[in-house]
Structure 1
Amino acid sequence: MQYLVIAYDNENALERRLESREAHIEGVKKLISEGKIINAGALIEDDVMVGSTLYINFETDDELDEWLENEPYVKNNVWNMDEFQIVPMKMLPKQ
């Protein structure tokens, strides 16, 4: 199932984001190569990074839950899980 993930950062999370960034990027690249992350990017407000967006494609809820349990931005309290959104969607096919 495909989803749009909208993940705003917690207040004062920049230091934790920077500390976790390498592990986050490594994990994203791995999941992109597996087809589980379709695309990802930063949310920007007033030229400041305030969160992340991801288009993901996980076969099961268990896979989705496993990703979240191991995602460095979740584990290191970067993303504000109270404002975290996972929206089911369907991407247009590539032509």
Structure 2
Amino acid sequence: MQYLVIAYDNDNALERRLAVRDAHVEGTRKLMAEGKIINAGALIEDEVMVGSTLLVDFATDDEIDEWLENEPYVKNNVWNMDEFQIVPVKLLPKN
């Protein structure tokens, strides 16, 4: 099922974000190659990264849970999980 993920950062998370960004990008690119992450990008305010947005396609809730358990921004308290949103969407087919 396809979802829009909106994840704002915790207050004062920029240093933690930057410290684990490479691991986050590596994991995201791996899941993109598998077709589980369709697209991803940073949320920007005043030219500063303040969160993330992702379009994902996971077959089960267990796959989403596994992704989040291993996601560096979750493990390192970058994303504010109290404001974390996963919204079901239906994306326009590429063809």
TM-score range (shorter-chain normalised) is: over 0.9
* Separation of aligned partners in 2, 1:8 and 1:60: 23
* Separation of aligned partners in 2, 1:33 and 1:69: 19
Trace 1:1-80 onto structure 2 (pairs within 5 A): 1-80=1-80
Output the amino acid matched with 1:49.
M
The Cα RMSD (Å) is 0.5
* Separation of aligned partners in 1, 2:50 and 2:60: 29
Query: Are 2:70 and 1:90 aligned?
Result: no
* Separation of aligned partners in 2, 1:21 and 1:49: 11
Identity of aligned residues (%): 81
Other structure's SS at 1:23 match: helix
* Separation of aligned partners in 2, 1:91 and 1:18: 30
TM-score by length of 1: 0.98
Gaps of 5+ in 2: none
